[in-house]
Amino acid sequence: MKHKAIPAPGRLWPQLGAARKNCHTLGQRLGRTGLSRANISVRILPMNNVLPNSSSGASQQVLDTLPTAAPTPLRRFWMLGAGLAILLLFLQLWQLPRIAGWTFFSFFDPGTALKGDWLISMGMKPAIDFGYTHGLASLVIAHWGFAVLGRTPAAFLIMTSVMEVLMALAIARFAIAMRLSRPALWFLFLALPVAIMPCYLTLTHPLEALLLLWAIAEQASGRRDRALAICTACLFVKPSMAYVYGLLLVIFTLLDWYRQERCGSGLLRRTAPAIVTGLLMAGAMIWRFGIRSLLLTIVPITGMRTYKDTHFGFFSGSGLQFWSPAYHPWYYYVITPAGLWLIMSTILLWVLLIRGLRQKHVGPTSSQTPHIGGLITDWLHAPNRFMETALSIAIMHIAFVLGFYGWKYAWEYYSYLPVLFTALVISRCGARQIQLTVVLGILALCSQARSAGITLWCWHGKVRNHQTGYLWAYPQQASQWQYVAKIVQGHRTLILSNGYLPWMPKGMAMPLSWFPEPGIPTAIEMRRLKSEALVAHYIVVRRGYGKFGLWANPAFTSVRREFSRQWQGAYFSIWKRN
């Protein structure tokens, strides 16, 4: 073992002299700054105050005087996610009489989730035995949920609640990754009722929103490979926006790979999670439904045909009823989310094409002069994950408005996109963050005025009973439904409905069809619908369905000739076989 040599005493004196000289110089500097020995003191704590095993309480006092550490990113994530989730659950409970409505499930789109599970439980194949506009994975996930909770509207709402809690966590992860400022977080809370609905029309829409939000959060965190894998899984849930987002992620991946590696192994490493996810999902769907159902649903052929037949779109058809002043007074844009949605969309378009999110300085001395340029220019000059994520959100929103917008309330499907983008803009507004948050936050609160009024009226005016499956219904609707059930009871009756009725009188049946409206049923399904109608003694048609459904369509003219209307009410009509 070697020991370090000790310098001889003669060599120590020069070192001590140099140290003394340095101390003297330091004392002179302190004197020039106004400090002296009298006002400099060093407190040395007793040893029993710092020993970890000390029996006295002085050590705890020392620890209490130390400054507390700032919350870690993980802690901030859980705190923010819990706050958003609690708010979403509260909003869902508050609007329960609306979202758990009898007509909502019995005659509208929410009932299609239950009816789709009913049809595949009978062995029917989507897009073959019945028309289907969404992905196969949404049917599988809904089937698992209904198998555990039962095929009921309550199970539908429980599954929606679980998805919305996960959406809240995805938004929290996005906010932490993008380092949103405190005003931007306040805006997220105030605009959350606009970003996420308390209940969606089907289980497909919240599931798609959940996957896309998590993909956006992963991209914001710098994990583009995970985002691409999640987006690939979303293709099997709803093949629409996932194609747009997936294409953007592929472009960003290829550009990043070309700049850094340009080797096959690097590209495979970046895309392997998405490839494995796609193969596993495709194999599972083929095993469950067959390759033909997968090929017919992985491309939204039925959805595109339906949009064409019904003249859906943002600038035509029923889409105009959401935003056009020709249909609404001025206060409509204050008491509904329409005004806030249009303002956020305008901000998004302005930032994307004109302003951008990066302060670009001209010259070394003009540090306060911003250079005008859109978000695309920002990304070209500074290709970081912040600009990439913001650009992806903006392009997805524009693609939705121009390509995927359907009917009046279609804005609800992707309303989280302009909300997230606006939060990013607020974080980059500098001194104007507070002003912008106050203005947009007040507008977000006012946008819930009509919804709050309708909810209060539902709590006050709706009733529940056995005939409505203990769902909320207006007394007039419930009493008229009881009258219809009394007339047709004991006779073979077909009720043409898009939903899933929780209770029907003896002899009444729903059609074996997922969504019996023009453009959606397959050829096999149409023949089956006509056969079911021709063997029925009564046909019950809901008043609103008679205008848009198959009963008024020319394809059902030969069937309608065999019946004559026996009774007409405010909500239902009864047709009797001649």
CA 110, CA 129: separation in Å to the nearest integer?
20
Q: Is the pLDDT of residue 71 over 70?
A: no
| Residue 548, pLDDT score | 67
- In Å, what is the CA distance from 77 to each residue of 74, 90, 174? 5, 20, 9
Q: How far is C-alpha 41 from the geometric centre of its chain's CA atoms? A: 59
| Residue 307, pLDDT score | 63
| Residue 549, pLDDT score | 78
pTM: 0.83
Residues contacting residue 541 through CB under 8 Å, at least 6 positions apart: 495, 496, 549, 551, 572, 573, 575
**Residue 556: helix, strand or coil by DSSP?**
helix
The torsion angles phi and psi of 360, rounded to 5 degrees, stand at: -105, 115
| Residue 68, pLDDT score | 40
Place of tokens 């019995």: 106
Q: How far is C-alpha 15 from the geometric centre of its chain's CA atoms? A: 70
- In Å, what is the CA distance from 203 to each residue of 43, 124, 238, 319, 369? 66, 19, 11, 22, 49
Strand partners, 472: 101
70-92 mean pLDDT: 89
Task: Report residue 368 as tokens.
Answer: 């306060």
Task: Report residue 166 as tokens.
Answer: 């996960």
456-475 mean pLDDT: 90
| Residue 29, pLDDT score | 52
**Residue 573: helix, strand or coil by DSSP?**
strand
- Report the chain's mean pLDDT, rounded to a whole number: 84
Task: Report residue 396 as tokens.
Answer: 């997805």
| Residue 306, pLDDT score | 63
Query: pLDDT digit string (tens) for 119-175?
Result: 999 999 999 999 998 999 999 999 999 999 999 999 999 999 999 999 999 999 999
Q: Confirm if 506 and 489 have CB atoms less than 8 A apart.
A: yes
The torsion angles phi and psi of 446, rounded to 5 degrees, stand at: -65, -30
**Residue 528: helix, strand or coil by DSSP?**
helix
| Residue 368, pLDDT score | 46
